Amino acid sequence: MKLRLENVQKSFGQTKVLDGISLEVAQGEMLCLIGASGSGKSTLLRCINLLEPLDDGAIWLDGIDIAEPSLDPQPIRQRIGIVFQSFNLFPHMTAEENVMLAPRRIHRKTRDQLRQPIAELFDRFGLRDHMNRYPDQLSGGQQQRVAIVRALAMKPDIMLFDEITSALDPELVGEVLEVLKSLKTEGMTMIMATHEMDFAREVADNICFLDQGRILEQGPPQQIFAAPKQMRTRDFLGRVLGAHKG
Amino acid sequence: MASRPAGLTRRQVYERSLKRRSLIIAGGSTLAVVLAVVILVPLSPGWEKVKLSFFNGEVFVKTFPKLLNAFVLDLAIFAWSVPLIAALGLAIALARDVRNPVLYPLRLFGAVYTDLFRGVPVVLVVYLVGFGIPGLGLPRPWNSPYIWGTVALVLTYSAYVAEIFRSGIESVHNSQRNAALSLGLAGKDVMRFVVLPQAIRRVIPAQMNMLIALQKDVALLSFIGPVEIFRQAGVFKSLLANFTPYVVAAAIFLVVTVPATRLADYLIAKQNRSRS
């Protein structure tokens, strides 16, 4: 699995949201996107998942340009899981049904065939007792973990995480980040937009700093956090880390 | 400290006294209005005549069983119309959401259909369909007013029901569609498993109100033949030269529609609570 973005361009009306993004993610790599709100992190992830069409540029997934507008997005989306800030579980289904829906419809598997592997997934993330609950009966952290399980059930090649801890109470952030760490040890390829700088520093292989739709600086976390080259990166980190340390 | 009943907080004592006061005022004003009606209405010069021709106990007793019997026909027409309206209404609502250019005619049809049948009074549709189509010289049983009367109701009501379904579909937040799409689900599966179930739940109270309106509009079929309760009441009126049968018919309708209205209001209130 290899993902490569080439000069990705996206505008909403007159506003340029992504202005020539190029980057590469290797198999098993975790890439963290950091940057201020509105810098284009979320839009970039939604473009990779084809929820937003690109204006220009290319996205190569294993040698295929998935940004080709005439391609059917469905089979591509099945290979790219995404988890959103606001969970977006289906409120009328139990946690288990949320996870089962896509494999049932797409892989044409029966509930009976799916029950065992899905129970194991719930088990792995400490959600066994919550399988038959509805989303509004779960805490934010539990809902977000179910959303991760839902995406994983499709066995994607790469997972995208769009500020998945931003809507959580502080005491629930940890349990969700733990899930990402365990995915990382299993070799999952991941791109994560985040404001959790400590987590990015500890877990990411590479960091991209986005500013006004461009990648201003990228590199391994030691370099970005310890010795940022760009003034704007330094400013941004100074602000978020300063605020964080109180 | 002033003395107060044991176990009550200051706030509870205050709220109790407020409640008692408003109960007394509400009871008093209701009593005054009822008394005024009971005393003043019979004082009006035409009261004796009105009482005889609208509230005649003898006529009431005599016509009630037959009117109740005729009402069974209203219920039957209602019962077989509802599933047809629900199915056609949903189909029209979905047709209006179609994005495939090949199916554009379907979308256009949906739009024209809802505009047309919401724009024409029900009674006109009943007349045009109920008299017009059998007028084509169809053989029995295809000239039955039951069939074409039902068709008229289904055509009109499914236009309203379709719009309500559509508002429900549009009320489902786009993030739900995106979440389903991002899993790789096909557009039709997203609609069927994610959007529609939520949309239908949301519009149940509004559709209940449509059912109540339909229950009453079944009486319009009397204009094209079926002897349902309104027509039966008309027969009795001519026979007995008395309007009491209409009052009986109204009372019978109310027995069905009032609980249904209460239920719809209850569902709406419940939904508002769960959303806030």
**Model confidence band, residue A246 (pLDDT cutoffs 50, 70, 90):** very low
Query: What would the mean pLDDT of B240-266 be, rounded to a whole number?
Result: 89
pLDDT, tens digit (0-9, with 9 covering 90-100), for A10-24: 999 999 999 999 999
Across the range A94-120, mean pLDDT stands at 95
Look at B266 and B160; give whichever has higher pLDDT.
B160
Residues contacting residue A152 through CB under 8 Å, at least 6 positions apart: A81, A121, A159
- The pLDDT of B100-105, averaged and rounded, is 84
Q: Is B175 on the interface with A (CB under 8 A)?
A: yes
Q: Does A122 touch chain B (CB under 8 A)?
A: no
Q: Which two tokens stand for residue A227?
A: 């010795």
Give the tens place of pLDDT for each residue, A89-104: 999 999 999 999 999 9
Q: Which residue of B183, B189, B274 to mutate against A (max A Cβ within 10 Å)?
A: B183
B97 touches chain A (CB under 8 A): no
Cβ pair A10, A204 in contact under 8 A:
no
| DSSP code, position A8 | E
Residue of A nearest to B196 (CA): A92
Three-state secondary structure call for residue A221: helix
The whole-number pLDDT of residue B276 equals: 46
- Its sign, for the CA torsion A7, A12, A17, A23, is negative
pLDDT digits (tens, 9 = 90+) for A204-217: 999 999 999 999 99
Residues of A in contact with B193 (CB under 8 A): 90, 101, 105
Tens digit of each residue's pLDDT (9 = 90 or more) over B212-245: 999 889 989 888 888 888 889 999 999 988 899 9
- How would DSSP label each residue in B141-206? TTT-HHHHHHHHHHHHHHHHHHHHHHHHHHHS-HHHHHHHHHTT--HHHIIIIIIHHHHHHHHHHH
Identify the band that residue B14 occupies on the pLDDT scale cut at 50, 70 and 90: very high
Q: How confident is the model at residue A244 (pLDDT cuts 50, 70, 90)?
A: low
pTM of the model: 0.84
Residue A166 DSSP code:
T
How far from the centroid of its chain's Cα atoms is residue A211's Cα?
Answer: 19
Taking only residues 37 to 56 of chain A, the set having a beta carbon closer than 8 angstroms to any beta carbon of chain B reads: 49, 51
Main-chain phi, psi angles of A94, to 5 degrees: -70, 170
Neighbour tally for B257: CB within 10 Å: 15
Q: In this complex, which of A80, A82, A102 lies closest to B185 when CB atoms are compared? A: A102
Q: Does the beta carbon of B194 lie under 8 angstroms from any beta carbon of chain A?
A: yes
Q: A80 to chain B: which residues are within 8 Å by CB?
A: 182
- Strand order of the β-sheet with A56-61 is A15-25, A3-12, A56-61, A64-65
Residue of A nearest to B175 (CA): A88
The residue ranking higher by pLDDT, A243 or B66, is B66
pLDDT in tens, A131-188: 999 999 999 999 999 999 999 999 999 999 999 999 999 999 999 999 999 999 999 9
Interchain proximity A74–B176, CB inside 8 Å: no
Neighbours of A31 (CB within 10 A): 22
pLDDT in tens, B26-64: 999 999 999 998 888 888 888 888 888 888 888 889 889
The mean of the pLDDT values for chain A is 93
As a whole-number percent, the residues of chain A with pLDDT over 70 amount to: 98
What's the sign of the alpha-carbon dihedral B243, B246, B252, B256?
Answer: negative
Q: Which residues, 6 or more positions from A44, have their beta carbon under 8 angstroms from its beta carbon?
A: A8, A18, A21, A33, A193, A210
Q: How many C-beta atoms surround the C-beta of residue A3 within 10 A?
A: 22
Residues of A within 8 A of B179 (CB-CB) are: 84, 88-90
pLDDT at residue B192 tops 50 = yes
Rounded mean pLDDT, B131-146: 83
Query: What does the pLDDT look like over B62-88, one tens digit per residue?
Result: 889 999 998 999 899 999 999 999 999
What was the pLDDT predicted at A220? Answer: 95
Tokens found for residue A108: 């044409």
Q: What is the mean pLDDT of residues A233-238?
A: 92
Which contacts qualify for A228-237: CB closer than 8 Å, 24 or more apart? A233/A209, A236/A34, A236/A35, A236/A36, A236/A209, A236/A211, A237/A197
